[in-house]
Structure 1
Amino acid sequence: MADSSNPFINLNEFDISDSVTDNNIDNIVEEKPTSSSKKVLKSLIIFTVFLAFLISTIMFLTLQYHDTSKNGADRAKNTFFSKKHYFYDSDANFDDYANVTNEWRLDTGTNYTMNLTYWRNDYGTSKERHYYFNITQLTVQMDNIENDEDLTSSAKTRNLTLVNGQYPAPLIEANSGDTIYLHVVNKLPDKQPVSIHCHGLFYPNNPFDDGAVGINSCPIPSGYNYTYKIPVGKKQWGTYWYHSHWSTQYADGIFGPLVIHSKDEDNLLDDYDEDRIILGNDFYQNFTDTYLTEYLESGNENTEPTPDDGFINGIYTQTDSQQDRFESLLYFDPEKVYRLRLVNAGFFLPFTFSIDAHKLTLVEADGTNIVPHEVDNFDISVGQRYSVFLNYTKTKDQNYWMHTRYNAYCVTESNPNFNTDVHAIVSYTNKYEEPEDMQSWSYYGGDPLCGDLDQNLLSTLVYETIPLNANGSARPDVKVELDIAFIIGGYQLDRGYFNDMTWVSWDKNTSTMHQLMFNSEEYKCDGVENKLNEHTYVLNFDKRGQIVDLVLNNYDDGAHPFHLHGFKFWVIASSATGSWKDSYYDDLSLGKIKLDNPVLRDNLNVGPYGYAVIRFVVDNPGVFPLHCHIGWHIEAGLLLQINALQSEYSQLEYDPEWKNMCALDN
């Protein structure tokens, strides 16, 4: 029996713990008594009811426990998180768990097409949206090549970490103002922990569930479960995604799209009929942690492992191993207007997106509606999202190629198995027929600098004045210069640095937020720049409304797509060459700074030996990382942390389970 003093339930204590994986959830039923056992059963029922009452009372008193530690930071109140959703809780919706099937490829044609009517009819009332995730591992047989004798057995399989038994993970949807609950069960083997981070969401009033392991949370241990509570602001909408934020785990399959619908956004955009996700990602044949040791070892000068494959929505792919065969097609009704939401959910490489014989009108970048901008193609870095409307330049009675071309200039070592031109069939006939090449522009292999779409071409659709200093100056309240480089240090280890700090997670199961809240005598922030230990670099901003500029000077020979949790930022300067000078603030005639409606986003690529200046307002309490979203670079230390309004988040109510996870063995 589970320890009643622990609000977690250890799933390994249940004999039926594998029932979900085996898709036998319907077998958990009530057995009806026979006539010969009624008297005994009646006694058992009375005893069971009494025992359940006793256990419930103990658990209730346990969850009401209030730590009166002398720093006064532990303010858990069970009333805020009153509805628990353990794996076998009577409140849980088992039908959602039962979506696990033996078909490991998710039907993205259905799952990644949104029912706009449903969500639009649900505008106006904030609701809870509950999603149930069962995390497992699986070695799968590659489709279409089971009988290919030219391939080794290892080349015919893929190792995956799955959400509800399928790859990629399912779509999460909500409306602005809703609250998303992610009920996550960790059934991974070998004591592997897991976490879930919703990339781009702000987590207002609940920064504890951002899911960044070692920064603002601890992971879910194997055999345990946790419910993430994600409030969605009424003014947040657009295209996002979610992924594991534990080590290299998301590259193995724990990632999927997330969309926030809004009437306010509908009013900003031209009308459209269909809404679809196009999710692209690079892929590694083996579990990525098997590459990590070699990547981080002495003597490796930031030579990132080269991917083995690329996907569009997990299934549309062309590789040498498949002998140019295409598995499926994307059907588009020629009478409808389509919005495509592009997500680069990869681990390493940017790609160039295009559809032959189509113009693409960009209307959204990272959840921000932008002034419509028409292109033939565009580059999308890891972690970024864009929405486009399709504009046809030819007839709608045939098929066309969709391309995600991965930039081969960005890899140090080539991989003969990786066909970097991953493409799918876009069909207006719903018939399988390989199209002719009708590309109207020239592709030369991608940007040699692994650059991003020129941010100076993008502007926020709803014009708003960028925050300025109270004295009217273009200068911010606080400016922090961040020099970015990979440096070979002791033991010939090549690490990523912000200034003189390279990040390594805590040597125990804890997080920076946990330490600042519950161990404030040993760890505290004083001033802007803080070093809590030799690997924990924290920028501290303690005044609500502060205007902060981060100057990102990239002294590395590679590009870095930086993502900031908890905030969006204005890109007020971006250059592929040179370095930032403070005099640019004072002489706007130089054209080095964009204060007139720059784009507002949360993911920006800074090219090699280039720079960018991003501006944000301190208005969201929490501890949030700023990091390169190339997964290998995070593990190499290219991450710092922002401690925003600690006096405020220390007073917020949090789920006691959030704190308790840091006491569990990972």
Structure 2
Amino acid sequence: MAPDTSAEKSAITGQTHSATSEGQGSPDAKDRGHQSNVSRGRRVYLAIVLVLVVVLALALGLGLGLGLKHSSRSNSDDSPGSPLPSSPQTPSEDSQASLSVPTWRSNVEDYTLDTASWDFHAPPTTREYKFTLSEVQLSPDGVFRTMIAINGRFPGPLIRANMGDRLIINVQNNLPNGTAIHWHGLFQNGTNWMDGTSGITQCPIPPNGGRFTYNFTLENQFGTYWYHTHYSTTNGDGPVGPLVIHSPDEVKMQKYYDVDQVVLLQDWYHDYSQALLPDYLASGSENGEPVPDNGLIQGTNYFNCSSLDSDSGYVCEQNSTRAVLTVEHGKRYRYRLINAGAFATFQFSIDNHPLSVIEADGTATEPLSVHRVDIAVAQRYSVVLNANQSSASNYWIRAQLNTFCFGDDNPVLDADARALITYTNSTAAPTDSVDWKDALDVECIGLNSSLLTPMFETEAPPATIMYALAANFQIGDYAIDRAYINGTSWVMSAVPTLNQAVAGLEAANSTFTTLGVSSAFSANQYVIDVPDVAIVDLLITNYDEGAHPFHLHGHSFWIVATSPDQYFDWSTYPALNTTLSNVLKRDTIMIDAFGWALVRFVADNPGLWALHCHISWHMESGLLMQFQTRNDIMRT
């Protein structure tokens, strides 16, 4: 049947071709009908013109900048504002940077801290945020995929506060699965249930509209932190963001820099993590962690669509761009680096510009001059760049993925993730940018923490108790490879272990007060019940052929000693268990393959606290245990 075009012609010309049944035959009624249709036609015509103008404006606004051609149309009714892909275009190596960004992307300006107007000495206040987590279709590197956005944006918003402030974060979970948000590196002293660890400190926030309010005070710490979901592997799908705590002591650090910015680093997959997980956990998959497809700096990077097979099933637009950081000649820039990824260790550098490290995981340090910084998953370093090079050229920022951490290759991965430093607000390709001649790592390692000296001196008293942990992978029944700590492979508990412990302590159940390895929990929960306010030495031995970044919740720890050797020489321990003067404290440490680390912390923080490898695949495989501390406070 041929389409009826009369309505379309009427809308354009403002003329009617038929009278309505009501009032037919009446001249007045026909006149009114004609005038009404003419008016309606004009309104439709003006609406069409207005839509065309808006579309053209959006196209210009989003398309200005080199190679950026995102559509503003929605991909589905469930993801308003998500761009629809257009046809792929030819890659352009000369158009990989842009000062224009999509409206859904947090950019350099969002992560630039205004230090001039910020009151570092302000009395404590309450700062409130609202987070809505939802699945959207976005393309951080040009490849469209389902990912998790916070308030429709990626990466997530910057949280910024002073030490002593109270944070209230209202979270609405519009995802199809439960979730929780962990505030990485925060002590949560007295608010263990706000740690955001699914199955340990809380039940997951229910899906499809469930809500939870995080409410805690930022005490006795300042520096660079971050947040991410702590439910299965979903933190690798986008729900991450920076959290910066200021203090009057930070003013003493500002003699080293003029501008303060956060730089977020991530490895990136073109598939949803939950789609990749079954193959990783499947029978016969040994050392089979999914290898990233790209690396992102500030939520973006170039990707060559032609590297994908024609039948790959991915929709890829050749419009992805690199982030641009503008500098002013003569100024010094603090870049707060955060590795918010799922797997990869980065080697961060900036061509032609030496860097000075002045912070590690919230600990201010004396400047350490480096060309490259190894930054493992979940670690943070602040580095200072002195913008003293020629403005005749732009320069590459490099966040090179250490492929020696991977058990396999990925043919589409360009391990040299890059962004642009410009003195002239230009996106031109660098003409005189030279990578450092220092050799890249040929093994999976982190920055040697012994090279860093804390700016504010601390003293670590001798340990009062010691625990030894062995981390390894074992192939069990049906050729399934799982991770173990002291023979236990962790599985998320349906009832949070904190809830179990509090109920048991209140009921005077003696199994919850027996010190040492606890028998109060199920067989897949390895929990050590620590004596009240013990000073704990923790020896973690890695019996795996891959390095592991271990993170301790609720505490920072002094790094007593580390070694790439397999076995710890126990005869040396008495000499190590002494008062330590001004050694580095941090919350995440990279333990070498077949190596060990001896760390020390004060168990004065009441609650259940996870210690786990921060590689998402490994934690989900079971590489997690817990400490139960301060029973005297928890039972009350």
TM interval, shorter chain, is 0.7 to 0.9
1:175 matched to which residue of 2? 162
Question: Does structure 2 retain, via aligned residues, the 8 Å contact 1:319–1:419?
Answer: no
DSSP-derived class of the 1:108 partner: coil
TM-score, normalised relative to structure 2: 0.79
**2:342 pairs with 1:336:** no
1:494 to 481, 485, 496: 481
1:259 matched residue in structure 2: 244
Map residues 444-523 of structure 1 onto 2, 5 A cutoff. Answer: 444-448=439-443, 450-468=444-462, 476-506=463-493, 508=494, 510-520=495-505
1:193 counterpart (173, 178, 182): 178
Match of 2:422 in 1: 427
Contact 2:322–2:420, Cα closer than 8 Å, also in 1: no
SS at match of 2:478: helix
1:181-580 correspondence to structure 2 within 5 Å: 181-189=168-176, 192-222=177-207, 223-233=209-219, 235-319=220-304, 326-392=321-387, 394-436=389-431, 438-439=433-434, 441-442=436-437, 444-448=439-443, 450-468=444-462, 476-506=463-493, 508=494, 510-520=495-505, 524-531=512-519, 532-544=521-533, 546-580=534-568
Distance 1:561 1:409, change over 3 A: same
In structure 2, distance between residues paired with 1:488 and 1:210? 32
What is the CA–CA distance in structure 1 between the aligned matches of 2:579 and 2:380, rounded to whole Å?
A: 22
CA contact under 8 A between 1:105 and 1:315: conserved in structure 2? no
Amino acid at match of 1:168: P
Shift of 1:386: 0.3
Does structure 2 retain, via aligned residues, the 8 Å contact 1:320–1:419?
no
Q: Which amino acid aligns with 2:397?
A: M
Cα distance in structure 2, aligned partners of 1:446 and 1:596: 30
Distance in structure 2 (CA, Å) of the matches to 1:287 and 1:441: 35
CA distance in 2, matches of 1:290, 1:650: 41
Aligned-residue offset at 1:328: 4.3
Kindly indicate whether the alpha-carbon contact (under 8 Å) linking 2:173 and 2:206 is maintained by their aligned counterparts in 1. yes
Report deviation, 1:262: 1.1
SS at 1:533's partner residue?
coil
For the structure 1 residues 187 and 440, does the alpha-carbon distance in structure 2 shift closer, same or farther, using more than 3 Å as the test?
closer
- CA deviation vs aligned residue, 1:165-220 (integer Å, no higher than 9, x gap): 1111111111110011111011123xx11211110001121111100111111111
Amino acid paired to 2:133 = I
Query: Which residue number corresponds to residue 13 of structure 2?
Result: none
Stretches (4+) displaced over 4 A: 100-104, 318-325, 519-523
TM-score by length of structure 1 reads 0.75
Aligned to 1:26: none
8 Å contact kept, 2:259–2:333? yes
Cα offsets for 1:210-233 (capped at 9, x unmatched): 001111111110121111012100
Q: CA deviation at 1:396?
A: 4.2
Aligned match of 1:603 in 576, 584, 588? 588
**Residue type of the partner of 1:134?**
T
Residue equivalent to 1:110: 109
**Could you report, residue by residue, the CA deviation over 1:311-359 in whole angstroms, capped at 9, with x for unpaired residues?**
0010244545577974442111224321110000000010100000111
Q: In 2, Cα distance between the equivalents of 1:135 and 1:417?
A: 30
Is 2:332–2:387's contact at 8 Å kept on the other side of the alignment?
no
> Counterpart of 2:188 in 1: which secondary structure?
coil
Q: Secondary structure at the match of 2:412?
A: coil
Q: 1:319 to 1:446 in 2, by over 3 A?
A: farther
SS of match in other structure, 1:358: coil
CA, structure 1 residues 266+439, in 2 after alignment: closer, same or farther (shift >3 Å)? same
Aligned AA for 1:606?
Answer: I
The 3 A distance-change label for structure 1 pair 319 and 177 is farther
Kept in 1: contact 2:140–2:320 (CA 8 A):
no
Q: Distance in 1 between matches of 2:110 and 2:156?
A: 10
SS in 2 for 1:580: coil
* Partner deviation per Cα, 1:18-61 (whole Å, 9 max, x = no partner): xxxxxxxxxxxxxxxxxxxxxxxxxxxxxxxxxxxxxxxxxxxx
> Of the two, which has the highest radius of gyration?
2
Q: How many residues align?
A: 523
Deviation at 1:514, TM superposition (A): 0.6
User: What does the per-residue CA deviation read over 1:500-526, in whole Å, with 9 as the maximum and x for residues that have no partner?
Assistant: 1111112x3x20001111245676241
Preserved contact between residue 364 and residue 386 of structure 1 (Cα < 8 Å): yes
List runs of 5+ in structure 1 lacking aligned partners. 1-99, 146-155, 469-475, 652-666
Structural mapping, 1:93-172, within 5 Å:
103=102, 105-119=104-118, 121=119, 123-141=121-139, 156-172=143-159
What SS does structure 2 have at the residue aligned with 1:539?
Answer: strand
Q: What CA distance in whole angstroms lies between the structure 1 residues aligned with 2:323 and 2:451?
A: 35
Rounded Cα–Cα distance in structure 1 between residues aligned with 2:110 and 2:104: 11
Secondary structure at the counterpart of residue 167 of structure 2: strand
8 A contact 1:320–1:417 mirrored in 2: no
Distance 1:585 1:380 in 2: 29
Letter aligned with residue 544 of structure 2 = D
Q: 1:455 to 1:249 in 2, by over 3 A?
A: same
Q: After alignment, is 267-276 or 519-528 more displaced?
A: 519-528
